[in-house]
Amino acid sequence: MTTLGLIRHGSTPWNKEKRAQGNSDIPLDQEGRQDAYKLAGRLDDEEWDVIYSSPLKRAKQTAEIIAKRLSIQEILIDHRIREASGGQIEGTIEEERIEKWGVNWRDLDLGIEKQPSIFERGKSFVKDVVINHPNKRVLIVSHGAFIGHLVSGLDEGFKEVERLDNTSVTLVNKLEEKWRCDLYNCTKHLTVK
């Protein structure tokens, strides 16, 4: 059985400001680094074979903290697991989007990457992971929108009920030819004192 441990990166200044990040290369903030260390401590109690990361700083920094704690020597970078492109809205907050494009800005073509494109690159990535790491436990440090679309596409019975929190863990297992989401948006490591 192949297991994917999908990790959303730690928090950034733009997360706090509610700015659309997309492919903007924003680093972790202090809280993001602290939470990544807590997550690494949680994952240290588990068995993981490989770690992949998006090329964006916030994901790479989170992956580096985890890899060091787990004594994983190499972080595999893959551009297919980067965040969904936010097009023209990157760097803006909701009020700025409404001011610039109106309350129906979501109905406009602002260059925002669509779900089919996100899932296609995610599906291609997952196919390669299964071929290259059969029956392994693979950590994937990525981004909220990307993970949400990927899980919804892999597990046909899955319905996303909440947005992913920073440093959350989502587990997806491949059983025969089907994927099943067994854990979604778990942040128990953040509540441990």
Residue from 9, 143, 149, 189 carrying the catalytic annotation: 9
Rounded to 5°, the CA angle 119-121-122 comes to 60
* Residue that the structure tokens 């659309």 belong to: 20
What is the rounded CA–CA span in Å between residue 47 and residue 171?
A: 13
Question: Is residue 83 flagged as an active site residue?
Answer: yes
Residue from 64, 74, 83, 177 carrying the catalytic annotation: 83
Helix (H, G, I), strand (E, B) or coil at 50: strand
What is the rounded CA–CA span in Å between residue 157 and residue 179?
A: 10
Structure-block tokens of residue 178: 């089907």
Catalytic residue list: 9, 83
